Structure 1
Amino acid sequence: MHREPDDHAASRRYTGQPAGQRTAQPTRAAAAAFVGTTIEWYDFYIYATASALIFGKLFFPGSDPFFATLASFGTFAVGFFARPFGGLVFGHLGDRIGRKKALVATLAIMGVGTVGIGFLPTYASAGTWAPVLLVLLRVAQGIAIGGEWGGAVLMASEHAPQGKRTFFASFAQLGSPAGLILSLLAFRAVASMDKDAFLDWGWRLPFLASALLLVVGLLIRAGVDESPEFSALKAQRRVAALPVAEVLRDAWRTVLLCLGANVIGVAGAWFVNTFMLNYTTQTLGLDRSLILDCLFVVAFIQLFTQLGSGWFAQRIGTGRFLKSAAGLAMLSPYPMFALVSTGRPVAIVVGIALAVMCMSSSYAVMAGFMSTAFPVRVRYSAISLSYQVCAALAGGLTPLIGAVLAHRYPGAWWPLAVFYSWLAGISLVCIGTLERRKRGAAHGVAEAA
């Protein structure tokens, strides 16, 4: 049976607290990571859903539907392009002053951005100011999620008991399907409204509901202590002065490989949950409520797949597990499109679930895999930079590229399937290379010892 190395056990023993309180912290940290990222992803997903369904009509009217869709997806992509900036800023703060303080700030920024969108005037009442304000608040969302992810992963993984880093880190990743479930519930509730009421004020309700979630998230995070690994580093006065500069100088190759390894987990999620929503309703002409219901069922499948993946990968080895998931992801879009094209609800769920299970397996385990690739002193900055640049490129552009391919090849799904396979292939190559580098580094340490 495989057990992952636990290189930082000594630093995790440093907490300055009674033993009973230390015992409860790993569970609290994992729960806080899950709840916090659920709230952040809820905010991000309701924007994604709205950009696929209604933002083109509300903020970019009077143009061809195809170009209105592109404009709407363009504002969606803006949030992704802001994510690396958030990763850099909060990665620096997390490596300098602490993971916990950075996470409280990101949650507050996300809440303000999301609730603000709920109060926005539309183009009909504010003209060009409406899309401008939409973009600005979308940037705030991007900055917040860019800083959130790395800190949530590290709070869970650096609090983890010995030998369970991958499993505990996966709880931060569970926020994505959980946030998706909440966002779909919210939009499913308002999508059944009268069309005029939905376009007038109903779409705002999911955004305004974020205010309540924000309060819940802040209260839960208040009960979690700072990461013991960071606390030990700070006590030893070994905190990096300029962590981002140190990463770019010493570990830029690893950053690029981690970026590539994340591609299918990041791009695949937005391909399935955002582009497919638009593709099925506009290209295939399927009912909006039907697709939302199908994605809702698939989101539960994703949630349980990710939970099981973190546990299973911990036992057989993360590298081996990730390569298998990426390889299967390369094959998954072909049955997905064939089944979705039938228009039958069960076939749609099965087809999308096949792709999502492969994609989300990689996504669940990648956090723990990356967290062991960098030293503690620069880890927040390094994993944030890797993941958020990937999100900007692969996540932000994927719905746009999908929309262009669907427009360029009307009635043909194979170009979309090939595009998805290409994304998974990038991850497979980078995961394999990272695993070889890790083995080489471990072998070098063993020989030196």
Structure 2
Amino acid sequence: MAHSSDAPHQPVRASVAAFVGTMVEWYDFYVYGTAAALVFGRLFFPQVDGFYGTLAAFGTFAVGFLARPLGGAVFGHVGDRVGRKTSLIITLFMMGLVTTLIGLLPTYATIGVWAPVLLVALRFVQGIAVGGEWGGAVLMAGEHAPSRDRRTFFASFAQLGSPAGLILSMLMFKLVTTLPEADFLAWGWRVPFLFSAVMLVIGLAIRLGVQESPDFLAEQRRRAQAAKAAQPPLWEVLRGAPGLLAVATCANVLGIAGFYFTNTFMIAYATTYLKIDRALILDCLLLVSIMQFLITPLSAYVAERVGVHRFLVATAAISILTPYAMFTLVDRGTLTGITLGVGLAVAGLGAFYAVIAGYVSDSFPTRIRYTGISMAYQLSGAVFGGITPIVGTILAQQAGGAWWPLAMLFSLIAAISLVSVLALRRAHARQVAASAA
């Protein structure tokens, strides 16, 4: 157990650990998404070219999302019963190991059909790991906050790991895409995956230095004094709070599906239909990711001042309108046009994403909080996040590259989150009042 003199430093340590840990996890996840858009179709599904090859590669991308609810259930149980810290150490190790193995995986040309089979299997395990990671990182940062009214800001450090991971993945792919095409296909694409082993060591070293969440320790003491045995947290969530789980799931849609729309599907759209060089689109997304990184803590700070609920409603409403400006600018095919267009969309959804984690976590009681927010986030990823690049690819193909159906898809994503945040308000207020009593 850490000395009491460490206690004042724990909020900062927990926030840094949440940031670094989620940065490593999301780096691994985004590296796969970028590779799926750029190279996996040719290396692992060479028997289906063009549109169908890209669709098959995005299908393996979706497998990771389908596995995430399983990870949320398994590691939600560990986090709610054994400890937040234990769960986070396991998920981080799993993610780094699996991503490194993907970088060592033989392609279809070497081992035939076993290549895509192994790729899908590793992607599934990767999805389980990230499914357990997010909820714990949000809680370790938020529950270490010095006061309840600062939780939104501290929880945002876990959200900060997402754009940071994307920036790192983009930088790695920007580096390897400068290689000659033959070298990139032969070994260059593996480098970003193998780099995960280095990041894993750094992430584990930082995360091991954080104490357990104060809220979890208090709940553990309460359970020890209770005469009645506690129900499994997943059963309690599904049986006792199914409506809250459904609304929380839909509230996360903009931050998840919207993000994969702009940062995964847009790579395939721009390179396939606008014939934009892949290096240019990666440069644009890198600039946009840096912007999102900067606005994440700023958004959390502003939300604390104007009211978290009001902030979420405003950013979701704005995001309904931004895709029309985004595609108008992206269609110009210039660095400035693509950066401004995608940047407009990401500004709205990024501000929303920065704040939604703390808001949703405060809607669940401590005893089932890890499981509740993990299942909400991961179900949202499985239902909406994983299929968004697939639906976008199909819509673009059917519309011959016309962007208006794609803009309507993005507006629908934002509208789902807007309605859900409005519905979540009562449950959030009720739980905050109960915790304060």
Give the TM-score, by structure 2 length.
0.96
Q: Which moved more, 1:183-192 or 1:429-438?
A: 429-438
Q: Distance in 2 between matches of 1:344 and 1:232?
A: 55
Matched, 1:402 2:392: yes
Question: Which amino acid in structure 2 is aligned with residue 169 of structure 1?
Answer: A
Residues 363, 429 of structure 2: 8 Å contact kept: no
Q: Deviations 1:289-323 (Å, cap 9, x if unpaired)? A: 00000100000001111111111111211111000
| Closer, same or farther: CA 405–111 of 1 in aligned 2, 3 Å | same
Q: What residue in structure 2 maps to residue 287 of structure 1?
A: 277
Q: Distance in 1 between matches of 2:174 and 2:86?
A: 35
Q: What residue in structure 2 maps to residue 267 of structure 1?
A: 257
| Closer, same or farther: CA 60–26 of 1 in aligned 2, 3 Å | same
Q: What residue in structure 2 maps to residue 153 of structure 1?
A: 138
Quote how far apart the aligned CAs of 1:104 are: 0.4
Matched residue of 2:386: which SS? helix
Q: What residue in structure 2 maps to residue 186 of structure 1?
A: 172
Q: What residue in structure 2 maps to residue 317 of structure 1?
A: 307
Q: Distance in 2 between matches of 1:439 and 1:365?
A: 16
Matched, 1:176 2:162: yes
Q: Deviations 1:45-67 (Å, cap 9, x if unpaired)? A: 00000000000000000323111
Matched, 1:334 2:320: no
Q: Deviations 1:236-260 (Å, cap 9, x if unpaired)? A: 3268440110111111111100111
Q: Deviations 1:226-283 (Å, cap 9, x if unpaired)? A: 0011111112326844011011111111110011111111001100000000000011
Q: What residue in structure 2 maps to residue 206 of structure 1?
A: 192
Question: Which amino acid in structure 2 is aligned with residue 126 of structure 1?
Answer: I
| Closer, same or farther: CA 319–124 of 1 in aligned 2, 3 Å | same
How do residues 340-355 of structure 1 correspond to structure 2 at under 5 angstroms?
340-355=330-345
Matched residue of 1:407: which SS? helix
- Identify the match of residue 32 of structure 1 among 9, 13, 17: 17
How do residues 29-428 of structure 1 correspond to structure 2 at under 5 angstroms?
29-162=14-147, 163-236=149-222, 237=224, 240-428=230-418
Q: Distance in 2 between matches of 1:379 and 1:227?
A: 12
Which structure 1 residue ranges, 5 or more long, are not aligned?
1-15
| Closer, same or farther: CA 110–445 of 1 in aligned 2, 3 Å | closer
Which structure 2 residue ranges, 5 or more long, are not aligned?
none
Question: Which amino acid in structure 2 is aligned with residue 208 of structure 1?
Answer: L
Residues 108, 214 of structure 1: 8 Å contact kept: yes
**Aligned length, in residue pairs:** 432
| Closer, same or farther: CA 289–440 of 1 in aligned 2, 3 Å | same
Matched residue of 1:54: which SS? helix
Matched residue of 1:201: which SS? helix
Give the TM-score, by structure 1 length.
0.94
Give the share of equivalent positions with the same residue, in percent.
54
Q: Distance in 2 between matches of 1:60 and 1:438?
A: 46
